[in-house]
Amino acid sequence: MVLCHGITATRRYVIHGSRALERAGHRVVSYDARGHGESDPAPPGQGYGYPELVADLESVVAATVGEEDSFVLAGHSMGAHTAVAYALRHPERLAGLVVIGPVYSDEMPDESLAYWDGLAAALEDGGVDGFVAYIDRHQGIDPAWRETVLRFTRERMLLHRHPEALVAAIRQVARSRPFGSFDELESLDVPVLVVASHDDADPGHPYRVAETYADRLPRARLTSEAEGQSPLAWQGGRLSREIAAFSPELGR
């Protein structure tokens, strides 16, 4: 299984350190995207958009999985979009696809770009404190989840070696398209598990967007936590068990 994390996260923040997949017998590969965590910034003349992210994923797969073996690909948020883009290019390589908290829509509004530009500026000008404060002001967090969200945000932001690269990545990923239209998803003949989160705790990953992916992907199944619970995407152990339970379905 190959795991791809979200924007401003690191390789830890897909299954949050859980070892349940390994205990279930899976070999798990995870990595920090360019400019994130321990990874270097983009090389001179390159950027952080989805073409580069997919190319990096192709390199990771070639180095760890091999050129012919099939595998399960899972990603959260930016990582989910990277995974879908890879799947559209290489469907024959995948035994299954796990799409966790997708955000990208083929009709991204201008106010979304304004939000991401503001987030990048907050990090650039105010560091981690400025970034966290911006999330607090603009993400519309339910008060019941505010302390948890801000604590998790601060913890993950402190893990990045190259914050200046992260600023560039935030701006460029927001303007990059992993694929052109939801219509493209309808041709993807791969088993898919789509993981949604309810909006009260995680408004940045709207439930309706995950539903759209599940509706348009022909072999998709949608799963989520019950309303009022901590988002499934935040529960590394439970999420890993959902992915492991999905794996026996892949041969059907």
> Is 98 contained in some domain?
yes
Question: What pLDDT is recorded for position 252?
Answer: 43
Q: What's residue 109's pLDDT?
A: 64
SS3 192: strand
Please tell me the distance from the alpha carbon of residue 152 to that of residue 148, in angstroms, as a whole number.
6
DSSP annotation string for 122-137: HHHHHHHHHHHHHHHH
Number of domains in the chain: 1
Q: Is residue 132 part of a domain?
A: no
Domain assignment present for 7: yes
Asked if residue 235 belongs to a domain, the reply is yes
Give the pair of three-digit tokens for residue 172: 């460029």
Q: Count Cβ neighbours within 10 Å for each residue of 138-168 and write b for 16 or more, e otherwise.
A: ebebeeebeeebbeebeebbebbebbebbbb
Q: What is the domain-level CATH number for residue 241?
A: 3.40.50.1820
pLDDT score for 68: 80
Among the listed residues 28, 26, 47, 16, the one whose alpha carbon sits nearest the alpha carbon of residue 169? 47
In a domain, residue 118? The reply is no
For residue 99, the enclosing domain spans 2-108+177-251
Residues in the chain: 252
- pLDDT tens per residue across span 178-194: 999 999 999 999 999 99
**Residue 19 in domain:** yes
- For the entire predicted model, the pTM comes to 0.95
**Average pLDDT by consecutive 10-residue portion of the chain (252 residues)?**
98 96 95 98 97 98 90 98 98 96 82 92 98 94 92 97 98 95 95 96 94 97 94 96 83 46
